[in-house]
Amino acid sequence: MLKVAIYGKGGIGKSTVTSNLAAAFATMGKRVIQIGCDPKADSTINLLEGKPLRPVMNYMREEDEEPEKLEDISKEGFGGVLCIETGGPTPGLGCAGRGIIATFQLLEDLRLFETYKPDVVLYDVLGDVVCGGFAAPIREGYAEKVLIVTSGEKMALYAANNISSAVRNFEDRSYARVFGIVLNHRNVENEVQKVQAFSKESGIPIVGEIPRSDEIIRYEDQGQTVIEGNSESEISGRFYDLAKKLLESEE
């Protein structure tokens, strides 16, 4: 089973990368689970025709009980991707990271992986600060590989450095390791050179590069990934290439 956590600064395009990867894997015949680990709970929306999924934490808060079956907190999206959102606490109250921990424990109780038997599991994780809760996917044995999404913007690279440092703190415990950097272009000055310099300094390879594209925006406005909208496009090819690299690394 391929298990990947995608981290990066808030707003850097993690959900776009994650959902397009999920769609790519699905069209390659893989059984995929995508788990959104962000209080905004919008990771899977473009796999679900633009319709938001009720997050796990909302279910528990509104129903005042834990769900009894997976169908209560999940929904199949494009290509049969099983979508789950952890959500978070009521805004201004509680720790969002604890929502991730509580959700993961619930998914274990519901025997998610034994029941669904996925080939690929993707975790879309808010990564400005890798606190205990947001680090759960990499330190509890859920994910084995980490992708760091960044642009050439200063704060994006700052967050990428924090994330790589946090992951390395766990490497000697057989937890997840950084697989590579995904350069999600923002067309800032000397962007490629800046990310290449970070790659060289950190020793983390650039494994994917997504050009800035109106095509992605156009399909997201329709509640779709670019893979669903036009699987033959050049941008879709970038996501397929990254998906293949990840699969080959497992072999």
Annotated catalytic residues are 9, 14, 40, 128
The CA distance from 71 to 233, in Å, is 34
Structure tokens at 232: 């033959």
Contacts of 2 (CB under 8 A, 6+ apart): 119, 120, 121, 144, 145, 246, 247, 250
CA–CA distances in Å: residue 219 to residues 41, 93, 154, 156, 204: 19, 35, 28, 24, 31
The CA distance from 203 to 187, in Å, is 23
Amino acid in position 22: A
